[in-house]
């Protein structure tokens, strides 16, 4: 099953409540919230208060992506704010294994992300601690960039590693997913698609969602 995780970064923030209602009306279950600290990435966005405000508004599964150099300092706050899943980056200078254990101990699902320059093998030993692996297909920091096709090569590798682990780990892709490339992302093995501008800037968001759900059918037929 393919999950679509609309990224709030691509929404019209002046109308965030309506944008969340749109996601619900489209029948989607996830919402992706990007948090940036101006240090790990050259941009700043949201924070635990924004997550808490969104939590009060919706029951959607809150997929919280932390692009922070020191996420350890904030994970308890994000958990209290109502995050369902917290993703941290493999590239940070911290004991990521211990951090993932801490997130799990807070009763929140765990995610681990790799930037375009990080190989899948770098996180192999951490897979037993992950509920989700997030492959960035752009340099993190900004919405509206083009998907880097070279990053898609990592997906079959990770899919094999996940299958070998025997655990049901989500494989999520984030950055530049559009109507014309989503099939390649799914064919490569992803089952969670983040979409910011692709969905929120679409002339017809329902058609965009239907197209992505159609890919799921294609994949089932191909098996
Ligand atoms: C980028 C963020 C993404 C971003 C995706 O650093 O992690 O979640 O919102 O936006 P689009 O789909 O527009 O590339
Ligand atoms: Zn993201």
**Residue 174 annotated as catalytic:** yes
Q: Is the pLDDT of residue 51 over 50?
A: yes
- Name the residue of 86, 172, 174 to mutate for ligand 1: max ligand atoms within 8 A of Cβ: 174
Alpha-helical regions (H) of 30-142: 48-57, 75-81, 96-105
Give the confidence band of 223 by pLDDT, cuts at 50, 70, 90. very low
Q: And the tokens for 138?
A: 């752009």
How high is the pLDDT of residue 155?
A: 98
Q: Is the pLDDT of residue 217 over 60?
A: yes
Four-CA torsion 85, 64, 176, 143, nearest 10 degrees: 180
What value does the mean pLDDT take over residues 19-35?
Answer: 98
Q: Is the pLDDT of residue 218 over 90?
A: no
CA distance 65 to 76: 14
Q: Ligand 1 pocket: which residues have CB below 6 Å?
A: 7, 9-10, 32, 34, 65, 138, 140-145, 174-177, 194-198
Return the ∠ at Cα 140 (arms to 137 and 143), rounded to 5°. Answer: 85
What value does the mean pLDDT take over residues 21-25?
Answer: 98
How high is the pLDDT of residue 221?
A: 57
Give the confidence band of 216 by pLDDT, cuts at 50, 70, 90. confident
Residue carrying structure tokens 């197209």: 211
């Amino acid at each position: 099953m393919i999950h679509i995780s609309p990224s709030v970064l691509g929404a019209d923030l002046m109308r965030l409540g309506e944008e969340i209602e749109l996601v619900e009306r489209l029948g989607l279950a996830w919402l992706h919230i990007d948090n940036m600290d101006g240090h790990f990435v050259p941009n700043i966005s949201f924070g635990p208060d924004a997550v808490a405000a969104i939590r009060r508004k919706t029951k959607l599964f809150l997929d919280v992506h932390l692009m922070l150099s020191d996420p350890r300092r904030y994970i308890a706050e994000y958990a209290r704010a109502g995050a369902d899943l917290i993703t941290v980056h493999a590239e940070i200078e911290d004991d990521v294994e211990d951090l993932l254990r801490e997130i799990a101990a807070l009763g929140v699902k765990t995610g681990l992300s790799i930037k375009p320059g990080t190989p899948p093998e770098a996180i192999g030993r951490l897979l037993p601690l992950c509920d989700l692996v997030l492959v960035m297909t752009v340099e993190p920091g900004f919405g509206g960039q083009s998907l880097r096709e070279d990053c898609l090569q990592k997906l079959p590798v990770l899919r094999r590693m996940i299958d070998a682990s025997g655990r049901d780990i989500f494989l999520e892709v984030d950055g530049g997913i559009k109507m014309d490339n989503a099939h390649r992302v799914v064919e490569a093995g992803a089952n969670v698609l983040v979409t910011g501008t692709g969905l929120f800037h679409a002339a017809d968001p329902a058609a965009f969602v239907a197209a992505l759900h159609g890919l799921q059918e294609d994949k089932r037929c191909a098996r």
